Structure 1
């Protein structure tokens, strides 16, 4: 399937900068479901991985963020670390729109796969990645990846690996 470059939206998509780190940290915190990392990590993420990450803005500020990177061992794979959408924007397809915007970037020119880990209870993320595979008319393989025992803190769920692809871009 070919990825369309015609993305109509009233969101403003852009590469993050270190100046977005605090707003991204707040957005992640406010989701209440994503692992909240240190504010320093989001400053670094927005600075170092800006080519493969994305911020979605509206007049009221940052309403969406995806952190991603090209997998060092698999240069055709974009690994998505976190997808955060402000509660006021959920159900509007923002996560999918951000993913399509990322795939159009020069940094993702050779990407033919997307991978992400998702906990079993995170139904919205599971639907996002399954829906993306359907829109790309490609496979979505789901495998065990990290078990709850792999994590040092109690209460962390297993993480399933979603692998979407291969797909082609125009």
Structure 2
């Protein structure tokens, strides 16, 4: 009998509309992520499926990354959210998922990744620093949304991280 560890049982897929409700539940159970409306998650699974990814374990959603191509910069993928269920953390899953998005033929023109992160979200800082290292490219960051100016003191500042340029096919 062969026993597979959790990492070997994970399946990465392009999200489908049917995944929207489980994705919404995953994000709701993943503080400090901001929750979106269920409709927003359906849009991510439908309109932004090529730049998003879902991870499943035994058919259940345990990971989701949403992203989109920045309209003014078609070489830039903006990562909106990364959510990994507790049972799937510590396996390098988020990095695998990001690389899977970047490896899709439809995303061959992407040479930069951007995202925003609050100062205290160490898991996300580690993830994107590790991605920059894996892609052998530069990571820059600066405050994009200021705590006082944009959030009236009700939310931490968000730094805009930019990784690139890179070429995944190399």
Taking structure 2 as the reference length, the TM-score comes to 0.91
Partner of 1:42: 41
Supply the distance in 2 between the matched residues of 1:86 and 1:80 (Cα, whole angstroms). 18
Q: How does 1:49-60 map to 2 (within 5 A)?
A: 49-59=48-58
2:135–2:168 Cα contact (<8 Å) kept: no
Asked if structure 1 preserves the Cα contact closer than 8 Å seen for 2:9 and 2:58, the reply is no
Q: Distance in 2 between matches of 1:140 and 1:47?
A: 30
Once the two structures are superposed, the pairs formed by residues 1-40 of structure 1 within 5 Å of their partners are 9-40=8-39
Q: Which residue of 1 aligns with 2:3?
A: none
Query: Structure 2 CA distance, aligned partners of 1:70 and 1:44?
Result: 14
Deviations 1:93-128 (A, max 9, x none): 010000010001122110000000001110000000
Counting matched residue pairs gives 162
Structure 1 match to 2:151: 151
Moved beyond 6 Å, runs of 4+: none
Q: Distance in 2 between the 1:33 and 1:63 partners?
A: 17
- Give, in whole Å, the separation in 2 of the partners of 1:143 and 1:9: 37
DSSP-derived class of the 1:36 partner: coil
Aligned to 1:126: 125
Q: Gaps spanning 5+ residues in structure 1: where?
A: 1-7
Map 1:65-76 onto structure 2 (within 5 A).
Answer: 65-76=64-75
Larger radius of gyration: 2
Secondary structure in 1 matching 2:9: coil
Structure 1 CA distance, aligned partners of 2:120 and 2:59?
30
